[in-house]
Amino acid sequence: MPGIREPLLPVPGFSAMGINIGIKDTRLDFGVVSAQAPCAAAGVFTRNNFPGAPVLVGREHIAGGRLQAIVVNSKNANVATGLDGVEHARQTCRALGDALGIAPHLVLPSSTGVIGVPLPIGKLLAACGEAPRHLRADRTGLETFARAIMTTDTRPKAISLRCGGATLSGVAKGAGMIEPHMATMLAYLFTDAQVPAAVLQRQLRAAVDASFNRISIDSDTSTSDTAVVLANGQAGPVDEAAFGAALREACVYLAREIARDGEGATKLIELHLRGAASPEAARALAKSVINSPLVKTAIHGADPNWGRFVMALGKVFAHPLRLEELCIDFGEPGADGPPMRITAQVPAAALLERISAYLRRPELRIVITVGHGPEEITVWGCDLTEGYVRENALYTT
Amino acid sequence: MPGIREPLLPVPGFSAMGINIGIKDTRLDFGVVSAQAPCAAAGVFTRNNFPGAPVLVGREHIAGGRLQAIVVNSKNANVATGLDGVEHARQTCRALGDALGIAPHLVLPSSTGVIGVPLPIGKLLAACGEAPRHLRADRTGLETFARAIMTTDTRPKAISLRCGGATLSGVAKGAGMIEPHMATMLAYLFTDAQVPAAVLQRQLRAAVDASFNRISIDSDTSTSDTAVVLANGQAGPVDEAAFGAALREACVYLAREIARDGEGATKLIELHLRGAASPEAARALAKSVINSPLVKTAIHGADPNWGRFVMALGKVFAHPLRLEELCIDFGEPGADGPPMRITAQVPAAALLERISAYLRRPELRIVITVGHGPEEITVWGCDLTEGYVRENALYTT
C-alpha cells in the first residue's frame, strides 16, 4: 500500500482501532490506540502561539512521562474553541479512560481538521464508550488507526522497524498547513522496547529535529502538531543508540511520506545543502529554497529555471554567499548519468534539457553547494500545484 | 486605463519612449526616459544577496546623487550572468550616453525578466542608438515606457500628482517574485520640482518603506528590485513636506496596483493590523497573514476560514498574542453594512455567510486587532490562485 513501508507490524502489548462516527461522511474519523499497561512516553508539540485545546491538555498529561492510550478525531481540530474546547478534550479523555478502566491523565487527546468549529462532543463521548470492542492487536488495528487520523492526506503513512528483540511502529498524517517547528502534524510511534521516559524524550526530540522539522509543504505551521512515542517495555531493554537510530529512521520515513503526500503535490523534493558556514545558515538557506513558491512551481512545470534557486538563496539576507562558489547538482551522478551541474556560468542548452527531463520524475534529489563551510542539512518538500490551490480555496465549505 | 490613475501627466523637461526590439515577440520590451539636464536623483535597491548586474552598476551611477537617463529592458533580468552581465550593463549605459550626448555614469540601467540567461546585448546596443528619435515629451512617451518595462504584468501602472507648481509622475511594474525589502520590483518617478538629492533620498526611503516594502505577492524577493526618483528642478522649489507626502502617495498607489496585478491574482487585499506591542511585531504579524498560502487560498475561494488567520498569527513565535484579545473585522462598518467581526467566540453561521459574500469582491479590507498595543501597519497582498501556479510552472519555457 503506498505510504506504508512493509511489513507493517503490530507491537506486542498495543491494540488499535479506527471507525467512522459521523464527523466525516463515511470515511474513518475516530481512532484509539491502547496499551495493556502504562508506558514510558515522550512528546513534542507545535510551537504555534495558539495551540489547539488537545495540545494544551496533551502537554499536561504527558508531563509525567507516562501514557496508556491515545484518542484522535479528524475533520475538526478543536482549535480556537475557547474554554469549551479544553473541557471537550478533558471530557474525551475521561470517557475513554472510563471505557478502558484507566486514569484520564494517561490518555493523550488529539484533534486535526478545521479550526474554529466546536467539536461534536456528543459523538466523541459515545465513540469512546464503544472503542474497547473495536480494538484489535493485529496489523488491521494499526492500519485503520492510520486511516482514521487522515484529513486531506491521500493515503495513510506507517512504518515498522525491528530493534534488537523489540518492534517500533509509527503512523503519521500530514497534507497541509505543514512547516512544523519542534513537532509535526500528527505522528504516533509505539514500541515494546524498554526505554526510560527521559531517554525517550531526548531521542524523540533529536529524531523530530532531523525529520519532521525539516519538511515543508506550504510554510504554514499548524496549531495541532504533535509527535508522541509510547514504550511499554514488554520486549525488555534494547541498545540505546540502536533504538535512537531506529526512531530517527522511522521519523524520517514518515516525514518524507508527509512531504510526498502534500496537498496537491505531484513530486517529493529532497534538497541537500552543504558547505554552509553555520547550522543556522544551512537551515535558513535550505528552507528558503524548499519554501520558495517560484522554485516549487518551476519544479512542478519541470522548468530548469535555476535562476529561481539563486534568488531564493539570495533572499536570506542574514547569510550572504559568493555566487562563484555556488553549484547546484540535480540527481545522483552515476545513478542518473553524467553530473547535471549548474554553476555561476550560464549553462548550455543541452544541460538544461537534461535537467528538465530529470525534473519530470516523481522523486527528486537536488544538492546545493553554497561554499566551503562545514555544515550541511537535508530538507524535504514538494511542488506547488493548481491542486493545492483548488483544495485550499474550498476546504471548509 | 486600468492601472493608470488619470490624468497621467508628462513632466516638463523629461521625455520617454518604449519600443519592441525583439527580446519579446511583438510586445514592447525596451524603454528609455531622458531628461534635458542632469537631475537630482535618489534610489533604493533590492536587499537580495545576489543583486542583478544592472543593480550593481546602478548603485555606482546613482552614488553621486545625479542622473539624466534611465534605460530598461524587460524579458531578461541580466542576473547571475557573471562579469559579462556587468559589462553588458556598462555597455548599454555607454551606448545610450553616446546617443544622447551625456556621460555614461548619468545613465541608470535596469533589466527585468528571466534570471540566468545572457542579455542579447547586440539588440540593446542597436536600440540605444535608435532611442533619441523615439523619445516623446507627451503622455504617450511615458505610457509606452510603462508598457515596455512589463513582464507578467497584465497592465501598466502609472500615476501623476501635482505638488505646488510641480508635477510628479511615476510608473512601476510588478507581477511575481514580489516581497520587496527596502525596494520594489521596478518603479521610476519623475518630477520637475527642485529637491536636493539628499532630501530626495530620505523621502524616497520613507515612501518606499510605507508602500513597496508593505506588499507581498508570493514572499519571494527579486534580485532586481529598484525604485528611483529623478528631480530636474525646472518648476523650482516646493514645500518639502508636501513633496514628501506626494511621493508617498504616488508610491502607495503604485504598490497597491502591483499587489492588485500580482501573478494570477483576482483580488487586492488591504490588511490593517493594529494594537501591536511594537513596530516589529506589527510588521511580522501582518506579513505572516498576508503571506500565508492558506489565508490567500481561502480568500481566493471566498471561504470565511478565519481559523487560518489565527494559525498565521500564531506562527509568529517571537510575538505571542492573547486569543481573547484578537478580533478580525471584514470590510468597513457602515460602508459595508453592520460590522462583520470575528472574535474568540465561535461565530454564527449567518455572519460567516456575510463574510463569504464580502470575500467575493475584487478589493478587500481586513482589519485585525491583536491587542491593546500602540502600533499599527497597513500591508497589501493578493489571493493565491491556480493562475499563479500555471503562470510560474511554465514561465521560461
| Tens-digit pLDDT profile for residues A139-194 | 999 999 999 998 878 888 888 988 888 998 988 887 766 665 544 567 788 888 88
- Check CB contact of A2 with chain B, cutoff 8 Å: no
- Check CB contact of A357 with chain B, cutoff 8 Å: no
pLDDT at residue B396 in the model: 56
How far is C-alpha A84 from the geometric centre of its chain's CA atoms? 28
Tell whether the model's pLDDT for residue A227 goes beyond 60.
yes
Give the one of A49, A177, A317 whose C-beta lies nearest to B321's C-beta: A49
Task: Write out the three cell numbers for B201.
Answer: 533620498
Contact B221 A314 (CB under 8 A): yes
pLDDT at residue A183 in the model: 46
Computed from CA positions of residues A234, A235, A240, A246, in that sequence, does the dihedral angle turn out positive or negative?
negative
b/e burial code for range B219-243 (CB count within 10 A of at least 16 → b): bbbbbbbbbbbbbbbbbeebeeeeb
* Among the ranges given (B60-74, B245-259, B264-278), the one the predictor scored with the smallest mean pLDDT: B245-259
Percentage with pLDDT > 70 across chain A: 95
* Among the ranges given (A51-55, A108-112, A345-349, B142-146), the one the predictor scored with the smallest mean pLDDT: A345-349
Give the pLDDT mean for B236-261: 87
Contact B293 A386 (CB under 8 A): no
Give the one of A47, A303, A390 whose C-beta lies nearest to B317's C-beta: A47
Catalytic residue among B46, B152, B167, B184: B184
Grid look-up 512542478 returns A300
- Check CB contact of B236 with chain A, cutoff 8 Å: no
Tell whether the model's pLDDT for residue B122 goes beyond 90.
yes
pLDDT at residue B222 in the model: 67
Q: Of B294 and B105, which is predicted with more confidence?
A: B105
Q: Of B217 and B313, which is predicted with more confidence?
A: B313
For residue range A120-141, list pLDDT tens digits in order. 999 999 999 999 999 999 999 9
* Among the ranges given (A7-16, A45-54, B285-294), the one the predictor scored with the smallest mean pLDDT: A45-54
Cβ atoms within 10 Å, residue A363: 10
A268-393: in CATH 3.10.20.340: yes
pLDDT at residue B256 in the model: 86
Percentage with pLDDT > 90 across chain B: 42
pLDDT at residue B115 in the model: 81
pLDDT at residue A108 in the model: 93
For residue A152, the chain B residues in CB contact (below 8 A) are: none
CA A326 to CA A210: how far, in whole Å?
24
For residue range B12-29, list pLDDT tens digits in order. 999 999 999 999 989 999
Q: What angle do CA A135, A141, A143 make, to 5 degrees?
A: 150
pLDDT at residue B219 in the model: 67
For residue B285, the chain A residues in CB contact (below 8 A) are: none
Contact A346 B116 (CB under 8 A): yes
Q: How confident is the model at residue B178 (pLDDT cuts 50, 70, 90)?
A: low
Look at residues B239, B229, B240, B238 and name the one whose alpha carbon lies nearest to residue B194: B238
Are A220 and B311 contacting, i.e. CB atoms less than 8 angstroms apart? yes
For A325, phi and psi rounded to 5 degrees?
Answer: -95, -5
- Model confidence, pTM: 0.81
Give the pLDDT mean for B168-192: 73
pLDDT at residue B61 in the model: 93
Q: What is the mean pLDDT of chain A?
A: 87
A224 min Cα distance to partner chain B (Å): 10
Tell whether the model's pLDDT for residue A59 goes beyond 80.
yes
For residue B345, the chain A residues in CB contact (below 8 A) are: 82
Q: How confident is the model at residue A375 (pLDDT cuts 50, 70, 90)?
A: very high
- Check CB contact of A333 with chain B, cutoff 8 Å: no
Which residues make Cβ contacts (< 8 Å) with residue A166, sequence separation at least 6?
A191, A192, A193, A194, A235, A236, A238, A243
- Check CB contact of B117 with chain A, cutoff 8 Å: yes
pLDDT at residue A222 in the model: 67
Give the one of B51, B305, B312 whose C-beta lies nearest to A396's C-beta: B305
CA B112 to CA A379: how far, in whole Å?
31
pLDDT at residue A177 in the model: 63
Give the pLDDT mean for B86-111: 95
Tell whether the model's pLDDT for residue B72 goes beyond 90.
yes
In the residue annotation, B184 being an active-site residue is answered as: yes
B51 min Cα distance to partner chain A (Å): 8
- Check CB contact of A359 with chain B, cutoff 8 Å: no
Contact A384 B385 (CB under 8 A): no
Q: Which amino acid is located at A202 in the chain?
A: R
Computed from CA positions of residues A331, A333, A338, A342, in that sequence, does the dihedral angle turn out positive or negative?
positive
For residue range A305-333, list pLDDT tens digits in order. 888 898 889 888 889 888 889 999 999 87
For residue range A25-45, list pLDDT tens digits in order. 899 999 999 999 999 988 888
CA B228 to CA B243: how far, in whole Å?
15
Q: Of B49 and B34, which is predicted with more confidence?
A: B34
Give the pLDDT mean for B108-131: 92
Q: How confident is the model at residue B140 (pLDDT cuts 50, 70, 90)?
A: very high
Where along chain B do its domains lie? 4-258, 268-393
Look at residues B284, B265, B286, B315 and name the one whose alpha carbon lies nearest to residue B379: B286
Are B226 and B110 contacting, i.e. CB atoms less than 8 angstroms apart? yes
Q: How confident is the model at residue A337 (pLDDT cuts 50, 70, 90)?
A: confident
Contact B80 A317 (CB under 8 A): no
CA A307 to CA B178: how far, in whole Å?
15
Tell whether the model's pLDDT for residue A258 goes beyond 90.
no
* Among the ranges given (A148-152, A377-381, B342-346), the one the predictor scored with the smallest mean pLDDT: B342-346
Residues 40..79 of A with a Cβ closer than 8 Å to B: which?
47-51, 77, 79
pLDDT at residue A35 in the model: 93
- Check CB contact of B81 with chain A, cutoff 8 Å: yes
Q: What is the mean pLDDT of chain B?
A: 87
Catalytic residue among A184, A221, A369, A385: A184
Task: Write out the three cell numbers for A32.
Answer: 484509539
CA-based nearest residue in chain B for residue A218: B293
CA A318 to CA A208: how far, in whole Å?
26
* Cβ–Cβ pairs < 8 A, chains A and B: 219
CATH for B4-258, options being 3.40.50.2000, 3.30.2320.50, 3.40.1160.10, 3.60.70.12: 3.60.70.12
